[in-house]
């Protein structure tokens, strides 16, 4: 976990959906799971996990895709860009797609999850970071919600 000290803005490819992440606790992880791969089309996804009270839309509205009964992915209904992921039935955390931030380098990756399904071509990606073959550390959710 690290502490974000300034707000971060982000948005989708077409610009119809914009959002802001407010300062506070954040964890940043590469996810190598097959669902993120299918949803993004990218060989690996990078997620910033924050308390949902610190993430809000500043323009437009999301469409949601339910992944079974367990989770849902929020995306722009116009351009299809995936912006957020959350487990359903909880209000403790939401994952923001770091690649959709205006300044993605503000949130450096801290660890890997689901390396059990990592692509061979991603094996050389940040080997110095801690890695979990499954969903990773059950970090306590940020409790600094305003």
Contact positions toward Zn ion, by CB under 5 A? 12, 14, 16, 31, 33, 36, 76, 78-79
Query: Whose Cβ is closer to Zn ion: residue 102's or residue 144's?
Result: 102
CA 31, 35, 38: angle at the middle one, nearest 5? 105
Shortest Cβ 116–Zn ion spacing (Å): 12
Query: Whose Cβ is closer to Zn ion: residue 33's or residue 46's?
Result: 33
Pairing of strands 63-67, 71-75: antiparallel
Query: Whose Cβ is closer to Zn ion: residue 15's or residue 140's?
Result: 15
Query: Whose Cβ is closer to Zn ion: residue 69's or residue 146's?
Result: 69
HSE-CB of 123 using CA atoms within 13 angstroms: 2
Shortest Cβ 37–Zn ion spacing (Å): 8
Angstrom distance (rounded) from CA 99 to CA 41: 13
Query: Whose Cβ is closer to Zn ion: residue 3's or residue 63's?
Result: 63
Angstrom distance (rounded) from CA 54 to CA 77: 23
Shortest Cβ 16–Zn ion spacing (Å): 5
Helices (H), the chain: 34-40
Shortest Cβ 81–Zn ion spacing (Å): 5
Residue 90 phi/psi, 5-degree rounding, is -145, 155
Angstrom distance (rounded) from CA 125 to CA 45: 12
Shortest Cβ 44–Zn ion spacing (Å): 9
């Amino acid at each position: 976990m690290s502490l974000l000290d300034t707000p971060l803005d982000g948005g989708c490819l077409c610009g119809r959906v914009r959002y802001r992440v407010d300062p506070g606790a954040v964890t940043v992880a590469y996810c190598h799971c097959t669902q993120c791969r299918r949803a993004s089309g990218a060989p690996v996804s990078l997620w910033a996990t924050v308390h949902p009270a610190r993430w809000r839309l500043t323009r437009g509205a999301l469409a949601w895709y339910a992944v079974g009964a367990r989770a849902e992915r929020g995306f722009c209904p116009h351009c299809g860009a995936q912006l957020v992921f959350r487990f359903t039935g909880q209000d403790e955390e939401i994952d923001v797609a770091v690649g959709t931030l205006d300044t993605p380098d503000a949130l450096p990756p801290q660890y890997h999850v689901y390396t059990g399904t990592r692509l061979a071509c991603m094996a050389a990606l940040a080997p110095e970071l801690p890695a979990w073959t499954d969903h990773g550390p059950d970090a306590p959710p940020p409790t600094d919600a305003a």
